[in-house]
């Protein structure tokens, strides 16, 4: 397990409880994890706010209670924090695909959720976790200011984000037209991206 703060470990334990026994209400989570209700409530709120869990429709008869289950992003977030959790990922896939909320998320990502192809889909899901959990690690390293991405690349990414703003789009256009050095940097970056994409498509054949 990677080094985690006490708060992160608590979130991991609660999330694992949801994965193993859920969907869970606040009180069922208290029963399964033996943690105080207040602690669970606080972490439930944070996990939901950050998009790692969501409300699932209760399958139980009678009075409906608020139950929480994982999002794909939530699973990605915790995947590399616990080796035992990661080992069970294909089993988790088969368990949670029974829930329409999880199934809908998988379908949006393009997973085949038909019964006949579950064996292949669970294997692809593990590879999906391997890749996107590594992406999340890179994002966290960038947030911490670790020098893993060149400044030029960060400038291009940030410029792309600003391009949706008409004010900055106009400024970018004027600068691109006026500054040959900046124009060359952008052209080189885009050409390399296109080249990489073509290589990627070629390897798919």
Is 161 in the same domain as 104? Answer: no
Could you tell me the residue range of the domain that residue 57 belongs to?
6-143
Same domain, 134 and 176: no
Return the pLDDT at 158: 78
The answer to whether position 94 is within a domain reads yes
Q: Is the pLDDT of residue 68 over 60?
A: yes
Instruction: Band the pLDDT of 25: cuts 50, 70, 90.
Output: very high
Claim to verify: residue 185 and residue 120 sit in the same structural domain: no
Segment 118-161, tens digit of pLDDT: 999 999 999 999 999 988 888 887 777 776 677 777 777 777 77
pLDDT tier at 1, thresholds 50, 70, 90: very low
Between 50 and 167, name the one with better pLDDT. 50
- CA 86, CA 35: separation in Å to the nearest integer? 23
Under 8 Å between Cβ of 28 and 21: yes
Nearest to 12 by CA among 80, 71, 72: 80
**15: which 2 tokens?**
């999330």
94 and 37 belong to one structural domain: yes
User: The pTM is what?
Assistant: 0.77
Q: Are residues 33 and 78 in the same domain?
A: yes
pLDDT at 162 (0 to 100): 79
Please say which residue of 115, 143, 171 terminates a domain: 143
Q: Are strands 53-56 and 67-70 parallel, antiparallel or unpaired?
A: antiparallel
* Measured distance CA(17)–CA(24) in Å, rounded: 8
The CA distance from 39 to 70, in Å, is 18
- Note whether residue 173 is domain-resident: yes
Pair 111, 88 in one domain: yes
pLDDT score, position 164: 81
Q: Are residues 134 and 162 in the same domain?
A: no
Same domain as 169, residue 139: no
Q: At a CB cut-off of 8 Å and minimum separation 6, what does 132 contact? A: 76
Is the pLDDT at 24 greater than 70? The verdict is yes
Q: Same domain for 172 and 191? A: yes
Q: Tell me, yes or no, whether 58 lies in a domain.
A: yes
The residue among 189, 193, 190 whose CA lies nearest residue 152 is: 189
The answer to whether residue 56 sits within a structural domain is: yes
Kind and range of the H or E run holding 116: none
Among 95, 126, 143, the domain-final residue is 143
Q: Does the pLDDT at position 96 exceed 90?
A: yes
* Rg of the Cα atoms in the chain: 22
The reply to whether 1 falls in a domain is no
Give the whole-angstrom CA distance, residue 15 versus residue 51.
12
Mean pLDDT of the chain: 87
Q: Are residues 157 and 62 in the same domain?
A: no
* Number of domains the chain contains: 2
Q: Which of 8, 23, 112 is nearest to 70 (CA)?
A: 23
């Amino acid at each position: 397990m990677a080094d985690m703060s006490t708060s992160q470990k608590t979130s991991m334990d609660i999330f694992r409880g949801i994965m193993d026994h859920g969907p869970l209400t606040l009180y069922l989570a208290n029963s399964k994890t033996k943690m105080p209700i207040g602690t669970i409530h606080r972490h439930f709120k944070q996990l939901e706010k950050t998009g790692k869990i969501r409300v699932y429709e209760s399958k139980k008869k009678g009075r409906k209670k608020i139950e929480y289950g994982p999002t794909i992003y939530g699973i990605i977030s915790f995947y590399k924090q616990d080796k035992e959790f990661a080992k069970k990922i294909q089993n988790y896939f088969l368990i949670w695909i029974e829930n329409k909320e999880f199934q809908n998320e998988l379908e949006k990502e393009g997973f085949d959720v038909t019964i006949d192809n579950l064996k292949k889909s669970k294997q692809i899901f593990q590879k999906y976790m391997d890749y996107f959990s590594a992406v999340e690690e890179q994002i966290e390293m960038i947030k911490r200011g670790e020098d893993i991405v060149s400044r030029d690349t960060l400038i291009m990414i940030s410029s792309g984000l600003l391009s949706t703003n008409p004010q900055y789009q106009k400024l970018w256009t004027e600068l691109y037209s006026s500054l040959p050095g900046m124009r060359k940097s952008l052209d080189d970056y885009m050409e390399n991206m296109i080249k990489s994409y073509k290589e990627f498509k070629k390897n798919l054949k």
